Amino acid sequence: MTASPVRTPLTVLLAAPRGFCAGVDRAIQIVERAIEKFGAPVYVRHEIVHNRHVVERLRSLGAIFVEELDECPDDRPVVFSAHGVPKSVPAEAGRRQMLYLDATCPLVSKVHVEAQRHHEAGKEIVLIGHAGHPEVIGTMGQLPDGAVTLIETVEDALAFTPKDPANLAFATQTTLSVDDTAGIVAALRARFPLMAAPHKEDICYATTNRQEAVKSVSTRADLLLVIGSANSSNSVRLAEVGARAGCPAHLIDDAQALDFAWLDGVRTVGVTAGASAPEDLVQGVIDRLAERFDLTIEMEEAAREAVTFKLPRVLSEAESA
């Protein structure tokens, strides 16, 4: 009988919190419950969250993903993604008498409300975020064209010329790098000290907590694996935070994307997942690592989360009926 080869020890530092946040969980539930209540198909404007596996699973249940409302028939329900939509979208859905369900994360809705409040007070609004991201498109679309100026970098902040330097307010995308955003805000504040800030930080608790956990993991790990899709802003930011902390980082969709060559000479690997990545993908990566290594798994906890968001009444009533 041949003895099994001795496997190399590998410590896995599991970042906590990781994976689904309350806004993502709510958005996915809205699609699932809508399919249960109204039957298939249910249309979803834009990917409900930025994760390929989540989208494929919902598609298998009867969701049809489209980019624009004009791709949806009038007589089927449509769900708006967690990233939020411009005001023109629900207005058009209402005009067409469509049944629509808004899965916008409540923390994104908070940014919308603040932007509207500043606009009504006559302030010029600066939005810190990434051009083309659906959340940025949705936030800028709450107000008339030209009311919001997008700032992406410190260089943008230094080049920005407002109409009235004493009458400014800023907001931010909820999934940005905390450190990068702080640098941009500092550059703006140095130039415009009277600029109004959000009542509470716009970068959401989940983004902040996951980045803090990655910073903690990265001080101990030789390599960081971030599970999430390449179009997920918060997942990309996690890989960037790890790399900035000096830990080589790879963003992977799932276990199949894991390249064992990355692990040559690695004794400790950090593992986390973006806010739109389900926990079964994390388990899949751990299982694949266990095929090659003798694993020791440790938890690296930066915060505990107990946030939940209510479902739209039309769905929660169905649940309690």
135 in catalytic set: yes
Q: Are 272 and 18 in contact (CB under 8 A)?
A: yes
- Secondary structure of residue 219 in the 3-state scheme: coil
Selecting among 47, 124, 135, 240, the annotated active-site residue is 135
Buried b or exposed e, range 127-145, using 16+ CB within 10 angstroms: bbbeeebbbbbbbbbbbee
Give the separation between CA 72 and CA 67, rounded to whole angstroms.
10
Q: Which helix (H) or strand (E) holds 284?
A: helix 279-292
Q: Which helix (H) or strand (E) holds 254?
A: none
> Left if phi > 0, otherwise alpha if psi is -120 to 50, otherwise beta: which for 19?
left
Single-letter residue type at 297: I
Neighbours of 7 (CB within 10 A): 12
Annotated catalytic sites, by residue?
135
